[in-house]
Structures are given as C-alpha cells and as structure tokens.
C-alpha cells in the first residue's frame, strides 16, 4: 500500500522523531511511504478558538496536499478527529471542497487505528522492558472512538507491563489554546493527571497524541518527577530495534 504521512504541525516542529519513526514502522511493514509537500496543520488550533475562516484556509491547504494520496496516516488522534468531526461543517457551504474533505475523511487514519484495524498487525514484534501506563486522549477516544487499537499494540510488546491509570478518562488539561488562555485551570487539571500517573506506579507514560504528552511531561518535569513520556510510536520504534 502507498501510505502518505500526515506530519502534524506539533510533531513536525517539536518531535520530528515521532514522524520519522512512524515512517520507519510503516516501511518495515512493507508499505511505500511518502510525505506530500505543502501539508502543515489540520487547522484545529484556530477552529477551536473560534477563528473559523483562518482554520478553513489551513484546512484547505491540508486537503490540497493529500488530494492524490491513497491513504493518509497521522500520529495524532486529535488532528485526525478534527478532519473527521469538523471538516464537514467547515466546508458546508463549499460543495467542491466538501467533496474533497469527505474524500480525505474516508482515507485518513490515526496511526494505531490504521495499524490494528486496517493493516491488522497488532503484533509488531517489539520488545521493551518497562512498567508503563497509557493515557487515552480525549479526542481519540470520544471523537474518533479509538478504544482497543493502542492497547492491542501495547499488549503485544514483549516485556512491557501495562499498569492501569486511575481516572484515565479525565482530560490532561491541554486543550490546545486552552492551556495558555486558561493557564491556571489547565495547570490544576494537569496537576491532577500527574497525580494519577504517579499513583499508577509506571515509569513511562504512553499516549497517542503529542499535545497531551507535551503537557503532562512539561508539568512532570517542572515538579521534578522522573516519569518518562513517550508516544506509542516511539516505544514501538525503540522496541523494534532490538
């Protein structure tokens, strides 16, 4: 299969290794990988802040860049949820782009969803000895309905002990611009999330959205707690090296 990567704006700028590892894993599974030029961002940050016109132009750029792709895969439940959940509203008055948006919706997947549900490859032969816990990101869970896929991938990682995260359903307090617009509320939320992560007894916190992980890791670091945070892709990538 020819898979086009959606390198989200966050991973592109801050965590390029996540995108790179995603490419490696997909290649390892025997697929051709390309990264269409011109792609930047799903537009969510503007959309969720109420700047719909600005969001629409960013979304249009993304749609254009993937127009000729067969399948689009991104390392973020939130960005894919933006496409699936809000693009139809964003282009409701533009029939041409509405059609293109629907096209993109039908061929785009979050990484774990793609590997487990489409490729049916929950076992990547990874080995990683650690105690970890998993934070189910809100948009992946509630908007995309991703439940089992990431867990299936993790259950197949040899040596990985997966510990339950108390109150896992609680938002970490990131919320995109929420974290800087309502910083004190956001801090209170991430403080509680950190409390639960520490209570889980895990050495590594895993997730499938770097936004949430950037938030939680940023707080854990500030309070000097040595829990490591990793995208599932990073853990799989490391685990597949050995």
Distances (CA, A) of 39 to 6, 43, 65, 89, 146: 7, 11, 5, 21, 24
Taking the complex as a whole, the smallest distance from the CB of residue 183 to another protein amounts, in Å, to 4
Taking the complex as a whole, the smallest distance from the CB of residue 30 to another protein amounts, in Å, to 19
Nearer to another protein, 159 or 218 (CB): 218
Nearer to another protein, 98 or 182 (CB): 182
* Residues 208 and 112: beta-carbon distance below 8 Å: yes
β-pairing, 2-5 vs 32-34, is parallel
Nearer to another protein, 144 or 157 (CB): 144
Taking the complex as a whole, the smallest distance from the CB of residue 26 to another protein amounts, in Å, to 13
Taking the complex as a whole, the smallest distance from the CB of residue 60 to another protein amounts, in Å, to 8
Q: Is the dihedral of CA 215, 189, 226, 77 positive or negative?
A: negative
CB atoms closer than 10 angstroms to residue 124: 16
Which residues are 32's β-sheet partners?
2
Binding site for another protein (CB under 8 A): 7, 9, 11-16, 19-20, 23, 35, 37-41, 43, 45-52, 54, 57-58, 60-61, 138-139, 142-143, 169-171, 173-176, 178-190, 192, 214-215, 218-219, 221-222
């Amino acid at each position: 299969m020819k898979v086009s990567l959606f390198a989200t704006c966050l991973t592109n700028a801050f965590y390029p290794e996540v995108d790179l590892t995603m490419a490696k894993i997909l290649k390892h599974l025997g697929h051709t990988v390309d990264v269409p030029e011109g792609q930047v961002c799903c537009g969510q940050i503007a959309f969720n802040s109420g700047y719909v016109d600005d969001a629409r132009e960013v979304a249009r750029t993304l749609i254009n860049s993937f127009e000729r792709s067969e399948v689009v895969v991104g390392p973020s439940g939130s960005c894919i949820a933006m496409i699936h959940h809000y693009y139809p509203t964003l282009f409701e008055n533009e029939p041409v782009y509405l059609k293109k948006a629907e096209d993109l919706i039908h061929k785009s997947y979050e990484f774990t969803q793609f590997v487990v549900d489409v490729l049916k490859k929950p076992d990547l032969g990874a080995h990683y000895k650690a105690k970890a816990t998993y934070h189910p990101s809100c948009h992946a869970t509630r908007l995309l309905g991703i439940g089992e896929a990431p867990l299936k991938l993790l259950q197949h990682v040899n040596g990985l002990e997966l510990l339950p995260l108390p109150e896992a359903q609680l938002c970490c307090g990131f919320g995109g611009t929420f974290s800087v617009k309502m910083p004190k509320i956001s801090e209170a939320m991430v403080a509680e999330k950190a409390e639960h992560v520490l209570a889980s007894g895990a050495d590594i916190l895993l997730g499938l959205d770097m936004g949430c992980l950037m938030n939680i890791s940023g707080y854990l670091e500030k309070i000097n707690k040595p829990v490591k945070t990793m995208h599932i892709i990073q853990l799989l990538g490391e685990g597949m090296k050995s």
